[in-house]
Structure 1
Amino acid sequence: MKNKITILITALLIFGCRGPVKEENTNTASASTLPIGHEKYTVNTKQSLVVWKGSNLMGSNTHMGYIYLSKGELIIENGQLIGGSAEVDMNTIEDEKHGRDNDLVKHLKDSDFFDVKKFPTSTIVLTNNAATTGDKRNVTGNLTIKGITQPVTFSAKTEVTKGVFKLNGRLAIDRTKWDIRYKSGKFYDLLADQTISDSIEFHINIVARNKELNL
């Protein structure tokens, strides 16, 4: 089974925001002040979902499953996502049937892959958001897995309607950049059908709500 196991990874957004402050000295600007025109949105962890997909090198054996956000906060300006961060609970890794207590999931959680006991969460911090074509955006950020942080970029469709923000995007990463080397062709001399692809895809669906509107 380990010959066919796939990797998952994830990521997606907890967007660190700043909170309101009391003004005690008019000559001192507080770092926690949210700039005028910026709005704080809280990620709805029950409505948000990340779907992961991995395969062997030849693509003949593919696995997919799910993983969930534990918390997240976004900053929106004029209807556009401009910052924030999100945290993923690595203990929520599931297979395509939403199973968690099986050999596939247990292997993904062990030290061959995500070493979840040692690194129970992964995070992504947004650094930029630029328009491409139509309603598509190029979202860039820093993704941390197993204590290793690397820059990432992914394409996403975003929208804000009546205080509800939605993001639908696809992120692909090279897992070896986060020291996930199990059966990677870069580090092991294996037959093609035993080699696991270094590329992992995940499809991100995020729903967040404006904190001020109490939706």
Structure 2
Amino acid sequence: MNNKTSINYLILIITPLLFGCRGTVKEENKNNALANSVSLHDGNEEYFTIDSKESVVMWKGGTLNGLNTHTGYISISKGKLIIENGQLIGGTAEVDMNTIEDEAHKSDDGLIKHLKDPDFFDVEKFPFSTIVLSKAIPINGENKRVTGNLTIKNITHPVSFPAKIEVKDSIVKMNGKLVIDRTAWDIRYKSRKFYDLLADQTISDSIEFNINIIAKK
């Protein structure tokens, strides 16, 4: 195998790993920097920057019996989506955990303060959460199944969720619903897996995130 062939072979091996890796936020940022180097790609990738003013994540959580639920918002601080031939092939999004708000857009009430403390997201210690997208598998039309790795509190796990992705001209619109088991990210407060509580005191392990992203060239 000559040198040119060896280099091309190594590039084919390295490139898929850039968006499917697992690790800390620091490692992901390093991978993002590498991924942004167009010289590593031989295809027709196009990079779209997430508009932080138009993009938002809506969260929903509550008690296990469903009688007491809370919803709110959290901001996407930055990120990119990578599109090739009209299809999502990768990307990253960083969420600023300090921007957590309730449904009335209040950020200083008791609920929000509790969500920010060590019982939940421990925001002072872990101010950012990230998701690294690896691919979007077509289901029908604009409906896809997106896969990637989600990092919360410096813990990373693979995730998969349905999303509608529209690529038109210089704008990408992505609307998805991601439901996670919070205990996998060490958010154990009043979980029935770790506490012996009455049903009306037990908090559901499921947290729902409705992701709305607008990305532009």
TM-score scaled by length of structure 2? 0.83
1:94 aligns with 2:101: yes
Aligned pairs (5 A) from 1:171-210: 171-210=178-217
Preserved CA contact (<8 Å) 1:123 1:145: yes
Matching residue's letter, 1:18: N
In structure 2, what is the equivalent of residue 129 of structure 1?
A: 136
Q: How many residue pairs are counted as aligned between the two chains?
A: 186
Partner deviation per Cα, 1:74-121 (whole Å, 9 max, x = no partner): 110011111011100000000000000110000000000000000000
Pick the structure with more helix per residue: 2
Instruction: Say if 2:81 is the partner of 1:74.
Output: yes
- Greater RCO, CA 8 A, separation 6+: 1
Q: Deviations over 1:34-61 (max 9, x none)?
A: 4331101100000001000011000000
Which residue matches 2:37? Answer: 19
Q: Partners in 1 of 2:40 and 2:159 — Cα distance?
A: 28
Q: Please say if residues 124 and 141 of structure 1, whose CA atoms lie closer than 8 Å, have aligned partners that are also in contact.
A: yes
CA distance in 1, matches of 2:77, 2:41: 23
Encode CA deviations 1:10-45: one digit per residue, 9 max, x unaligned: xxxx9933234xxxxxxxxxxx53433110110000
The gaps in structure 2 that reach 5 residues or longer are 1-28
The answer to whether the 8 Å contact 1:18/1:34 transfers is no
Identity percentage of aligned residues = 63
Q: 2: distance between equivalents of 1:204 and 1:61?
A: 22
CA-atom RMSD in angstroms? 1.4
Aligned pairs (5 A) from 1:41-52: 41-52=48-59
Indicate if the aligned counterparts of 1:122 and 1:144 stay in contact, CA closer than 8 A. Answer: yes
Report the residue type matching 2:157 in the other structure. Answer: Q
Q: Alignment partner of 2:106: what SS?
A: coil
> What residue is the counterpart of 1:5 in the other structure?
none
